[in-house]
Amino acid sequence: MEAQYAVILAAGAGTRMKSDRAKVTHELCGKPMINWVIDAVKNSGIENIIVVTGYQEEQVKACIKENVEFVSQKEQLGTGHAVMQARTLLQGKKGSCLILYGDTPLITSRTLKQIIHEHKENRNSMTVLTAFFDNPAGYGRILRDPSGNVTGIVEHRDATSEQLQIKEVNPGFYCFDIDCLLKSLDGLSNQNNQNEYYLTDTLSIVLKNGGKVGTTTLNCTDEMMGINDRVQLAWAQKVLNRRIIEDHMRNGVTFLNPDSCIVEYNVEIGRDTVIYPSTILEGNTKIGRNCTIGPNSKITDTIIGNYVTVLNSVTIESTIGDKTNVGPFAYLRPGSQIGKNVKIGDFVEVKKSVIGDDTKVSHLTYIGDAEIGENVNVGCGVVTVNYDGQKKHKTIVGDNSFIGCNVNLVAPVEVKADSFIAAGSTITEEVPEYSLAIARCRQTIIKDWVIRKGRLRGKNLRSNFTEVVIK
């Protein structure tokens, strides 16, 4: 059985990106751009993938988790020279080889399957993907004879004024018979304006050797977009983001304003969930069914159950159980495990803590390094004092407890189940079950202290009190 190979060219420096990173490692929707290309190749049915690296090649290798083979292009002497570096891995193989670029993340597996099908169906030696542009500046032009047969490809910089009028361009995607590819590489020359070995010159060599060259037309010109600078990177991000969101919408998710949201490739969302505007969903986030998320929420690496509402809040590396409400303006930091039917209210911050089912933490509270049981009421302004300046300590609150407003729980400390903590208390010792803990000074009233200390404020108040004292 004949094998299918793909060679992905990823050796370029990408100087227009103005970055210390290799161009193909820049992320789009949470994935390095070269991995979008690799995924498209794999989804087209090709398992044998060769990546040609060069500039910052260790960065490129580090960002690729798929099983691929690497070859190095130490000097960037053109696209033909880049493919030459894969010669030893292709030598003696029978089958076809797809060639494409690592900076074209918008290419789809559907289009790659189209090239492969056209190549096999017509028994071509070489098949070229072409596209038509009204303004084809920068792209190589497809040359044809009067009968419409392909005769060559000319790079934009080498084209004559007449050739520059051609609208059919070469996006840079090819399929070769492997034997034909290796023979044509042997015939490449660098006698051109750039002194480089152009892969496009293989077309005329294939024809000269009696091979058959065919073309197939790209219907969606977005896919041929190569990323050369930050402007194009942002444009590609927008296209991929829209594709991801449309897939979710087709699977039963409502986006009230899709263009205002950002959703990374690995996010899962259940049906009948509604995503409000300006929501960002990142990483390995999984959202259940019938949830309401946003507006203005940022959810990262968070597992969310069903019937959950997250309003104007930030969650990171956390879990949220069914029927729980979070926000507005809540912050769930890494390690937060929120149970079912929980209320995490406005301006509540939770860090590395477990909060049991049916518990309410309604507002203006910090819960850090704590275990809060089930059916607990945590009042306004409660703080778990978890840090002594050197170490973090744990707070444990048992089921069915009531923590009054403005309570400080100084860790390490435990409040047993079914206990009450009076408002304004600072708790430093264990609270037994069924107990009421009060840790505050008894209120003292000193009459006329303000008058005697001369602390009255405002002229009218001062004159009124003066009259009272004289009488």
Provide the CATH number for the domain around residue 193: 3.90.550.10
Whether 245 is in a domain gets the answer no
Residues 360 and 343 reside in one and the same domain: no
* Residue closest to 53 by CA, chosen among 32, 34, 75, 70: 70
Whether 167 is in a domain gets the answer yes
Whether 449 is in a domain gets the answer yes
Residues 184 and 332 reside in one and the same domain: no
Residues 188 and 326 reside in one and the same domain: no
- Vertex 190 angle, CA 186 and 194, to 5°: 150
Quote the CA–CA distance of 290 and 305 in Å, as a whole number. 9
Of 351, 381, 409, the last residue of a domain is 351
Q: And the tokens for 128?
A: 């070229």
Quote the CA–CA distance of 392 and 426 in Å, as a whole number. 18
Residues 330 and 207 reside in one and the same domain: no
Residues 117 and 217 reside in one and the same domain: yes
String of DSSP letters for 221-263: GGGG----SHHHHHHHHHHHHHHHHHHHHHTT-EESSGGG-EE
Whether 239 is in a domain gets the answer no
Cβ atoms of 112 and 220 closer than 8 Å:
no
Residues 358 and 345 reside in one and the same domain: no
Q: Consecutive 10-residue runs of the chain (471 residues): their mean pLDDT?
A: 91 93 97 98 97 96 96 94 97 96 97 96 96 88 94 90 94 96 94 85 94 93 92 97 98 98 98 98 98 98 98 98 98 98 98 98 97 98 96 97 98 97 96 96 87 78 47 41
Residues 299 and 399 reside in one and the same domain: no
Quote the CA–CA distance of 35 and 52 in Å, as a whole number. 14
Residues 345 and 358 reside in one and the same domain: no
Our count of domains for the chain comes to 3
Q: How far is CA 397 from CA 364, 373, 405, 418, in A?
A: 18, 6, 15, 9
Residues 179 and 303 reside in one and the same domain: no
Residues 129 and 140 reside in one and the same domain: yes
- Domain hosting 171: range is 3-224
* Residue closest to 353 by CA, chosen among 329, 379, 318: 318
Quote the CA–CA distance of 44 and 285 in Å, as a whole number. 27
Whether 236 is in a domain gets the answer no
Res 470: pLDDT: 42
Res 155: pLDDT: 85
Quote the CA–CA distance of 184 and 129 in Å, as a whole number. 18
Residues 58 and 167 reside in one and the same domain: yes
Cβ atoms of 372 and 348 closer than 8 Å:
no
Of 224, 245, 271, the last residue of a domain is 224
CATH of the domain at 445: 2.160.10.10
Task: Record the pTM.
Answer: 0.90
Q: What is the dihedral of CA 376, 377, 380, 381, to 10 degrees?
A: -30
* Residue closest to 320 by CA, chosen among 290, 279, 355, 372: 355
Whether 247 is in a domain gets the answer no
Whether 246 is in a domain gets the answer no
Of 296, 320, 351, the last residue of a domain is 351
pLDDT digits (tens, 9 = 90+) for 204-252: 999 999 999 999 999 888 999 999 999 999 999 999 999 999 999 999 9
Whether 22 is in a domain gets the answer yes
Task: Please list the active-site residues.
Answer: 363
Residue 441 is classified by DSSP as: P
Residues 357 and 298 reside in one and the same domain: no
